Structure 1
Amino acid sequence: MKSLCSLSVAAALLFSGQTLAATEIAGIELPGSVMMQDTQLTLNGAGVRSKFFMDLYVGSLYLPTAAHDLKQVLAEPSALVRLNITSGLITADKMRDAINEGFELATDGDISAIKPQITEFMGLFDEAIQEGDQFSFLTTANSVTSYKNGKLLSTIEGEAFRTALLSIWLGDDPAQNSLKKAMLGH
């Protein structure tokens, strides 16, 4: 009976799309689940952001339950986007430029409603960025809490900001389509 119960749990996890095993992508070990602010989040998907045939970072998405599009991710009580920097070519200036471009694309060129939050968010990238750094963006309804290498940096309020930030990787015009698909488990 115990093994039948274990088999049922394993089958339920398999069909729910959730992964409990750790995964390695581009030399980065990604845990199958993480605990953030007393919430267990499971790896939904992960992939590599590359440009000109160079890997820049591994992007991963952790959720309470599996989701396969931005609408489902936004409906979750929390979502964690994690960026593990894999290239020494990423500088703070390049990261700010890429994030600003992402916000422009995510808002169809009209950042006016979230300009103060974007300005505050850009302050997260004032310090040097090095290969091996990890940025984590925990989103909950109306807020984004940001960490660098596990250290709390800030919490920024606003649902429009949260939606725009997630859209950088998961929206209609993402940073990279293949990364979006990988993070959404496709």
Structure 2
Amino acid sequence: MKRLSIIALTAALVLPQMAEAKTVSGVELADNMMIAEQQLALNGAGVRSKFFMDLYVGSLYLATPATNVDAVIAQPISVIRLNITSGMITADKMTDAIVEGFDAATNGDSASIQSSIDAFMGLFNEEVSKGDQFTFVTHKDAGVTSFKNGQEQATIANEAFRQALIKIWLGDEPAQKSLRKNMLAK
């Protein structure tokens, strides 16, 4: 039964419902997606930029619209998706940015989730290229399942890690404040 759910989840990620779509920085984003038999809607999306260069489009999908990080964390399922739009992003740069994000998301105290962070960082060993898509499906009390270009990479079953991951983009010290604002747009 669990295997069937994983297959259904993978199919939902590989074949997003594109009936209606929003375009952000040249990336088409589905208005809705089905995850684990749960209909999620695009809550918001924006661009992560640095030195006037667009690096990626970040999008947030939720069952119930949310305008703050606590409301996102409280949801049983949420999806954060990153669509890489720049060839300037490498695996090393992605790793550095995410390590910095975890440091900010945990107020510099990531020791309790360090083993989960290390496992997660192992997902970025392969090169990152323009056009890659990272999808982080978060399940309250079950952790995070990570996908790259629709292929499941791993599940990290740690609630504190899940919350910290969400806070990288939506917390008090996000990767970029304008991106957080746009992801929490509704």
Fold equivalence (TM over 0.5): yes
Match of 2:176 in 1: 176
Bigger radius of gyration among the two: 1
Number of matched pairs? 167
Q: How far apart, CA to CA, are the structure 1 residues paired with 2:59 and 2:92?
A: 22
Cα distance in 2 for partners of 1:36, 1:150 equals 13
Pairs within 5 Å for 1:26-37:
26-37=25-36
How far does the alpha carbon of each residue in 1:34-59 deviate from its partner, in whole angstroms, 9 at most, with x for none? 11222211000000000000000000
The equivalent of 1:109 in structure 2 is: 108
Aligned-partner Cα distance in 2 for 1:85–1:111: 26
Q: Quick one: distance in 1 between partners of 2:86 and 2:36? A: 29
Structure 1 segments unaligned to the other structure (5+ residues): 1-19
State the distance in 2 between where 1:46 and 1:91 align: 22
* CA displacement 1:140-167 (0-9 Å, x = unmatched): 1120000000000000011110010000
List per-residue Cα deviations over 1:68-105 (Å, max 9, x = no partner): 00010011110000000000000000000000000000
2:52 is matched with which residue?
53
Q: How far apart, in 2, do the equivalents of 1:110 and 1:40 lie?
A: 34
TM-score, reference length from structure 1: 0.88
What is the distance in 2 between the residues matched to 1:37 and 1:130? 28
Moved over 6 A (4+): none
Give the equivalent residue in structure 2 for 1:6: none
Structure 2 letter corresponding to 1:100: V
Q: Is there any run of 5+ residues in structure 2 with no aligned partner, and where?
A: 1-18
Q: Which residue of structure 1 lines up, in the alignment, with residue 117 of structure 2? A: 118
Answer yes or no: is 1:166 the counterpart of 2:170.
no
Instruction: Give the corresponding residue for 1:40.
Output: 39
Indicate the residue corresponding to 2:72 in structure 1. Answer: 73
Residue 95 of structure 1 corresponds to 94
Q: Aligned ranges for residues 5-24 of structure 1 at < 5 Å?
A: 21-24=20-23
Partners of 1:141 and 1:166 in 2: CA distance = 11
Identity of aligned residues (%): 58
